[in-house]
Structure 1
């Protein structure tokens, strides 16, 4: 990291002689915001400039090689310093950006490698970017310093991804998670509700599932349903991680009560916390902690006995308002960029081998350059042997099904980061014998990323069939998601000392995370690499190790808000929904995991035994 003082370049002529180009712009002030006044020249401005990385084509080729099971380089993951050396911006990119800033009298510059952070005044920023910063106010009375457009010299434009905050009207007001609390529950006493199990797992796991699991999901249900009977470990620095955003923090007291009630084998187990970007480990306030508690309690239980790490990231990400979130005061865009930056700065040994993210937004709400950068960073984590597992979303085909690009076209709404091709997206099911797709499970096809090669055998036939049913409503050649699914309804958690039921694909993500954490334990015990980027393996070797879900359908685009059930003004698409089908589908992906089969593929020398069921 370098700090640079600006100077007046008086000896050498400027290299920025060509005309500037408009780099980002808005056609109108975003809905929910009003221009109030021009900014004063002396007011301070802080900006982040993202530099383009080198060798991205080589990187993506290498990523697929180390992630594809039949390739000779499978499992030969990068160390952090190796990847940073490969991808670091060119000296020309850095020097061009720094010189441009210095020639325009920017007084404080910090070079952080992939980013340059700068502080200056409104007057200098206006001149630098050929723009006019102004103050805008939203309906909640919050004020932001923003601009409607900015320009940079062509020489600079060739080297940067974005410069923000400028045109992005986000908010720092966190909202409650979209985790759905099904009932307020009862005060948790710590009395065990560990349900008795059959003496052994059967070949058909569904036959061994307690009937209560048809409506109530506990760790015991998941072990039985998904044929899990292996105890994980911390050997080889194996850890399981999860993200906590928008002010969420898992509570130690709730975690202890959950273990006593539903996972007695984990009694006394704790979790560690890492904070990024000013995140706060809040153990005492009355703030909502439901999502973080769910993530911790089921990562710990399903992935037992792999140590759990919570990553609390402060701040909110960038928002492009649309009909779903027309008021930026309602911004719940999560700080994905800061989260990924924090992880990538760590040594490989310190980063958990599998990490779940139970947060997301409409893909179109995320600025393209921002989304592309974050997706690239998740790919980098995959190349370093880390599996990124995300909830597919809880809005089915979409809530407010209208494009925000000025056309107002009716469109299904894919989700971010689930539609990023370098994460594993987890959809939702409910019920047992058989499991069925749950209506709120988000899925579909990306408008940003094309279908990756690893999906070429599984996805096209389904996509074409759906395109015939819903002409023009989605991009049939886009990356299809979700990739897999697990139970998503009726999970019991302890929240603020109460035993409550919750639902959402935010429950599915930590569940599948636990499955992968156990596979990593088995592979480490066999002197094999960690799983890393999962999808090439899932769609080739492991596709037969999933329980195919063929009943149920997603829903959405019905003119009703997913938040309060009232009318939201969205275009209505009659019978909108992606149905479950034989093979891959856009509501449950490849299906739900059969752990014993996955284990036989990932670590054939390790037996599915010795876990909490056989030890109960």
Structure 2
């Protein structure tokens, strides 16, 4: 493109003290004067006369945020301007002014998302912590590598990447690293650089200038700490192709433990009812007798044919805790004494990240974490268990107006950055997580980045398992984007690089649980390993609800397990809990056993599971009855009449491929290892 010079207009303020990055020596008091031009930072001498037409010149571009960057522009100008004393400054600054607003919006939300409200304006000195994901140099190659190491029959199957090998794929180019680091440092920020990640804490005033935005405090209607958020953020055009994401900025979300709103945790007193106690003491292999009054480890092991006992040596399983939840040692001991006497004496290790807690005397809710550790232990004993307790709040930086935690951090990023940096021998082989939220509540750049990080865990041999959620096809089913009706897939269960687990109930036969979330991602395309299974389902359901879901999206869940009336201990009390929060650790415990069995044969761990799972669909019991329900609407939108996902023969968006038959999975995963 060419620009023709005309009569100049004075824009002194553009190159005044607002110009940051490389400040003008004389504050550029007159942008059109030769003195003003000569005060601009430049990497080489500038000629004092122009003797011919100039077609391409170098100039310093000023962005809306004030950032200066070297760029080029094609310029044509009249001969009458050649001999004016200010012609050089005019040549350079007119294209500069024409591009002063050249910044790219990286992400935006149209308004305060549903369920959130403005609390107060941010003060300039409030602290905000940000994560910058730089563009990976070999992202496409990494995805192909992960597919290879995870697909049975591929030449690379099982050849997981070491920490060093993974970082060679995820590292940014030298140009990207230098460009992004220099941009941030120009604002007086001292960032921490780790591979493709840059992290820093700065003031709201600086963050607003850096990202051409405005942070303020918002709070979710469900409560919790206010969070610093904004509606959009931008970076200079020249940086946009070097940056994948900067968060938390537009990330309005409400992370929740996946506990059903239909079957909530219920305290039962100091001891279980006689019906539950009787099954604890029962000497029977009858699934109906063992599972009828309530679900225990013995019930699950009998139902799913789990008889294998692993070695604790060189094996590990872990679970994630968020929302200031933490498992309790005393409750695990009570659970072991009642249900898993052979596990008595085994404890768990806690790793605390980003302000995560391990307060054993608090009266705050700990039901989710207790459920995870108790059923992981009940299924996979004696494999060692680690709890990663990750806080959702940043380090305390008190101010007069905000004396509490600023709450600007993003717990998934904090956790994933930590665990991906661990040496190979410190990684868990299986990781279970029972938290999630509506996919639409997560900015696309964050969702894609987090999903990529789960892929990296799979590349290193970690099997990542998530509960699918407890809202059927959706709660209110109101879209944030168009304020229209839409089914609500969940995140991170919708990420194709994790294994999503739905819920079943009953045992003769198992049926889909009414709360079990599923559906189709709006962010991720349907992966090849499940394509034929999902298409078969879509061919049978007609078009009644077609406007409400993305038929080409990744199907959720992959598998299912029991999820109703789990017997747990919490804060010294016997309790009953239901939800996909129970299904995820149940399945994860079995995968931990399979990984341990493979190691006895000198085989690598399973790592990313999904291609292997779909290749071994006959090792799952198909659940073909029951349905999930939802879409109850809200004050502004009517409910979607009859909204549901039905369980059908084959894969379905309630129970996936079905529930595991451990003996069959063991025979495939570790041939020759006895189920004993």
Q: 1:92 is matched with which residue?
A: 175
1:178 equivalent in alignment to 2:259: yes
Larger deviation, residues 120-129 vs 226-235 = 120-129
Which of the numbers 637, 648, 655 marks the counterpart of 1:581?
Answer: 648
CA contact (8 A) 2:253 2:437 kept: no
Q: 2:520 is matched with which residue?
A: 445
SS at match of 1:286: coil
Q: Partners in 2 of 1:447 and 1:59 — Cα distance?
A: 23
Which of the numbers 108, 113, 118 marks the counterpart of 1:34?
Answer: 118
Q: 1:15 is matched with which residue?
A: 69
How far residue 570 of structure 1 moved from its aligned partner, in angstroms, is: 4.4
CA contact (8 A) 2:620 2:657 kept: yes
1:343-386 deviation line (CA, Å, top 9, x unaligned): 11111221111111001101111111111111111111111111
- 1:374-389 → structure 2 map (5 Å cutoff): 374-389=450-465
Which of the numbers 230, 234, 237 marks the counterpart of 2:312?
Answer: 234
How far residue 142 of structure 1 moved from its aligned partner, in angstroms, is: 6.5
Which of the numbers 417, 430, 433 marks the counterpart of 1:341?
Answer: 417
The number of aligned residues is: 570
TM-score, normalising length: structure 2: 0.79
1:598 equivalent in alignment to 2:665: yes
1:509-564 deviation line (CA, Å, top 9, x unaligned): 00000110111111011111101111101101x210111111101111133xxxxx
1:175-230 deviation line (CA, Å, top 9, x unaligned): 7873654532121499996343447xxxxxxxx42424134111110111000101
Is the alpha carbon distance of 1:546 and 1:121 closer, same or farther for their aligned partners in structure 2, counting shifts above 3 Å? Answer: closer
**Higher RCO (C-alpha under 8 Å, 6+ residues apart):** 1
Provide the aligned C-alpha RMSD in A.
2.8
1:68 equivalent in alignment to 2:151: yes
Q: Partners in 2 of 1:254 and 1:422 — Cα distance?
A: 33
Q: Partners in 2 of 1:414 and 1:143 — Cα distance?
A: 25
How far residue 578 of structure 1 moved from its aligned partner, in angstroms, is: 1.0
Q: 1:194 is matched with which residue?
A: 280
Q: Partners in 2 of 1:182 and 1:149 — Cα distance?
A: 38
CA contact (8 A) 1:547 1:594 kept: yes
1:152 equivalent in alignment to 2:229: no
- 1:68-147 → structure 2 map (5 Å cutoff): 68-103=151-186, 105-134=187-216, 145-147=228-230
CA contact (8 A) 1:50 1:160 kept: yes
TM-score, normalising length: structure 1: 0.86
Is the alpha carbon distance of 1:8 and 1:351 closer, same or farther for their aligned partners in structure 2, counting shifts above 3 Å? Answer: farther
CA contact (8 A) 1:303 1:517 kept: yes
For structure 2, the 5+ residue unaligned runs are: 1-20, 25-40, 44-59, 61-67, 72-98, 395-404
Q: 1:556 is matched with which residue?
A: 630
Q: Partners in 2 of 1:249 and 1:583 — Cα distance?
A: 37
- 1:129-528 → structure 2 map (5 Å cutoff): 129-134=211-216, 145-169=228-252, 178=259, 180-188=263-271, 194-198=280-284, 208-235=286-313, 237-315=314-392, 335-405=411-481, 407-466=482-541, 468-528=543-603
Larger deviation, residues 422-431 vs 123-132 = 123-132
For structure 1, the 5+ residue unaligned runs are: 1-5, 200-207, 318-328, 560-566, 610-616
SS at match of 1:448: strand
1:54-96 deviation line (CA, Å, top 9, x unaligned): 2111111111111111112111101111101221111111111
CA contact (8 A) 1:131 1:151 kept: yes
Q: Partners in 1 of 2:411 and 2:299 — Cα distance?
A: 33
How far residue 481 of structure 1 moved from its aligned partner, in angstroms, is: 1.1
Q: Partners in 2 of 1:412 and 1:333 — Cα distance?
A: 28
Q: Partners in 2 of 1:11 and 1:365 — Cα distance?
A: 44
CA contact (8 A) 2:150 2:607 kept: yes
SS at match of 2:672: coil
Is the alpha carbon distance of 1:341 and 1:123 closer, same or farther for their aligned partners in structure 2, counting shifts above 3 Å? Answer: closer
